[in-house]
Amino acid sequence: DAGVIQSPRHEVTEMGQEVTLRCKPISGHDYLFWYRQTMMRGLELLIYFNNNVPIDDSGMPEDRFSAKMPNASFSTLKIQPSEPRDSAVYFCASRGLRQEINQPQHFGDGTRLSIL
């Protein structure tokens, strides 16, 4: 089975540029999560979707961050404009069907973002 697929794996860009991170969840999973991981703050939940609908975006740090899920097999996290403090590893995770409430999350390998 293909796991959660994230792209790109690494992104280096200059401050002020737009950054788009992509995620393909496991087929059939109806929950999708975006996390940010830094040394200072650990693993932070930014936003999650259920059936393509954003449920809780209270973890999104600023209006510069936005996330979309246009269909069940694709999601994007966009930062515009980017700032050096956005440098982190961004993870996407998905989880199985709602009735399987004890199922764990499955994580992608992350996108390592560096803003210069």
Contact between 93 and another protein per CB under 8 A: yes
Strands 10-13 and 111-115: parallel
Q: Please calculate the CA angle 34-63-30 and round it to the nearest 5 degrees.
A: 25
Q: Select 14 or 101, whichever has its Cβ closest to another protein.
A: 101
Contact mark string toward another protein, 18..47, x via CB under 8 A:
---------------x--------xx-x--
Q: Which of 15, 51, 56, 114 binds another protein (CB under 8 A)?
A: 56
Token pair for residue 48? Answer: 């999650």
Q: Taking CB under 8 A as the rule, does residue 101 contact another protein?
A: yes
Sign of CA dihedral 37, 32, 22, 65: negative
Among 25, 26, 91, 115, binds another protein (CB under 8 A): 91
Does 15 participate in binding another protein (rule CB under 8 A)? Answer: no
DSSP 72: T
